[in-house]
Structures are given as C-alpha cells and as structure tokens.
Chain A
Amino acid sequence: MKLKTTITLLLLALSSQLSAVTNEFEFGERVNEQRYLSYINKIRCLVCQNESLGSSRSDLAIDLRSEIYRLMELGQSNQQINEFLVSRYGDFILYEPPVKRSTLMLWFGPFLLLLLFLVLLLLRIKKMKHQTSELSASQRQQAQALLNPKSNQHD
C-alpha cells in the first residue's frame, strides 16, 4: 500500500514538471502545441545543463522558449530554429548534435567499440574451440581416469 502511494506521488511530481510550460503560450493554427513541446524537450538548458529547455524554470529558459515560440509563429522550420540556437550557443545546446567531423566519435565511437569487442570475442571463441579438440594422449588418459574411476582403480 505504502509503495503504491509513493509511486503515485512520484508520478504526480513528474507530471507537474512536464506540464510546467504548457500554459505559457496560446497554441492553435499558427503554432502547433505538439511540435513546440517536442522541440523544446530536445534543446538543452545551458544554465542547468541536466534539464531540457522544456523542463527548466531558469530565466534564460523562459526567454529562449518565448523566442522559439516567436520563431515558430513566424513560420520557421525546426532546422532554421536549430541554426538560430547553434550560431549563438554552439552544438552543445542540441541534445542531438549534427554528424560532422568533430562529433564522429560521439556518434560512431560506441559502435566501433562494440565491433572491436565482438571481433575479440569471436577470436577468443575460435581459440577455445581449437584448444578443446587437441588433447594429448596423456591428457586423454587422465580424463578417462576421472570419468570412469572404477575401471582404473589399482587396489
């Protein structure tokens, strides 16, 4: 019972955070609410870096949200708004930085590592297979002795 209450409270706290910004502006034909909300949640708040622009209550986040709303009202695309933000604050403001030379490692590094370890693993497995098939005569005898203790007892 207690657990249930805790979970409910946690969910409530979360949902109030998510809806902190929904009533800042009016949405309708000109600015689509879904588009606006999904966009501001993909932008980092530079004041409190672990929060998105959508969930931050900092002054700068409020200003940037109204700037983004204004640009959407003017009919700019997400790409154009990205350019507006990046030219001022740098790629760091985007949670999904563009693929370019300086971000290649960021995008593909993990896959490269995965590939490297897969290759190492395969090599290792191959090696192990080899080893098991090559028992020397004396090893074979030892194994036999361990497996059938009765037939080889000397007393």
Chain B
Amino acid sequence: MNRYLPLIVLLLLALFLGLGLRKDPSIVPSPLINQPAPSFELPELRDLNKTVSKATSLGAPYLLNVWATWCVNCRYEHPVLMQIANDGRIPIVGLNYKDERPAALQWLTDYGDPYRDIAYDESGRVSIDFGVYGAPETFLIDSQGNVRHKVIGPISVELWQETLIPMLAELQSE
C-alpha cells in the first residue's frame, strides 16, 4: 500500500490538473446571475433623441447583447442574432460598447439589424456596471429585470437551441 502512495498522489494530481485544463480560464462566472440587472439609461443608437433604460425593457424576458463593430467575434455571432430575431421568441436589446456611431450604423445597414432597442454606451461606463470584459457578451434578463444567465463569447446556433430556448421556456412558465 505504502509503495503505491506516491503513484496514487500523482494520479490524483493528474486528475485535478486534467480537469483544470478542460476549463476555459477566459470565462469568468458573473456575480450578477440571479441578481437584479444594473439600472441604466442611455441614448438609443439609431435615434439619439430617444433613450433606452432598464425600466423601458421590463415586463417580458429579453436578451441584452453587448456588441461593437471593432469586435471580430461579434461579426461571427451576427447571423445567429439575425436568426434569433427572425424566430421571434425573445427580443434582443443591444448594448453598443465603446463604438463609433457611424461605424455601428453602417454595420446595421450592411449586415441587418436584429435589435429591438440599442443602448449606445460610448464611454463604456454602463458596461462596467454589467461586468463586461470582452464583447460579445449576452445576458438573459427576466421580466422582473433579473439577470438569469450570461453567455461570454459569441452565441452559436447550438447554444441558442440547446441552452437558451429551454431556459426561455422555463422563464415563460414561471
């Protein structure tokens, strides 16, 4: 027994290190899950005279999608957002993060506009309240304004179908 102890310790260590390797360190769990979403009030990107706020978005679940034209993965994610918008199950509210307005408007003309509202966070201050550290990030927010889930990185078709749709069904049955 004693002879094998070092081997057992080594195998245990290998097991834990192996499990550690499988985790993606760039995904940092958000402390906002199951907490009220931070309140915000920002100009609407497409019409600066309007405002988008937490209050105007209450009443039904929605996705809050953080995006920017300088973000390569947002371009990659965009067709999936278009698909979600066409599906019509849940509205998408955009949070345009530290972007240039003309570039953002051009992006919507070129690739399509999946957003119900777009909050224009030019300074990035509201995004700090949401704990954004890299776009794209997407929050699933329920009808009371609580954050229920956070996707870090682009939403894939699989993620939409296998994770978000079931979560949404659960939210709607509450």
Answer yes or no: B25 CB below 8 A from chain A CBs. yes
Q: Which of A6-14, A84-92, A132-140 is the contact stretch?
A: A84-92
- Given A49-B25, A49-B26, A67-B128, A60 contacting B31 (CB threshold 8 A): no
A-B contact sample (13 more), CB < 8 A, given A63-B125, A88-B31: A46-B28, A49-B25, A59-B98, A67-B125, A67-B128, A86-B31, A88-B32, A89-B30, A89-B31, A90-B28, A90-B29, A90-B31, A92-B28
A88 & B98 in contact (Cβ 8 Å cutoff): no
Report how many residues on chain A are interfacial, defined by Cβ distance under 8 Å. 15
A-B contact count (CB 8 A): 40
**A100 shortest CB reach to chain B, Å:** 13
What DSSP secondary structure best describes chain B's contact surface?
loop
Partner of A63, one of B26, B28, B30, B128: B128
Q: Within B3-52, which residues are at the interface with A (CB < 8 Å)?
A: 5, 25-26, 28-32
Which chain A residues border B26 with CB–CB below 8 Å?
A: 49
Interface residues on B, range: 10 to 19
Tell me if A's interface is mostly helix, strand, loop or mixed. helix
Partner of A89, one of B5, B28, B98, B123: B28
Most A C-beta atoms less than 10 A away, residue of B5, B30, B133 = B133
Residues of B with Cβ closer than 8 Å to A? 5, 25-26, 28-32, 98, 123-125, 128-134
Flag if A88 contacts B25 (CB, 8 Å). Answer: no
Q: Which residue of A lies closest to B32 (CB)?
A: A88
The answer to whether B131 touches A88, judged by C-beta atoms less than 8 angstroms apart, is yes
A88 touching B130, Cβ below 8 Å: yes
B124 near A47 with CB under 8 A, answer: no
What are the interface flags for A37-68 relative to B under an 8 Å C-beta threshold, 1 for contact and 0 otherwise? Answer: 00000000011010000000001100110010
Q: Mark A111-155, 1 if CB is under 8 A from B, else 0.
A: 000000000100000000000000000000000000000000000
How far is the CB of A141 from the nearest CB of chain B, in Å? 30
Residues of chain A lying within 8 A (CB to CB) of residue B124: 59-60, 63
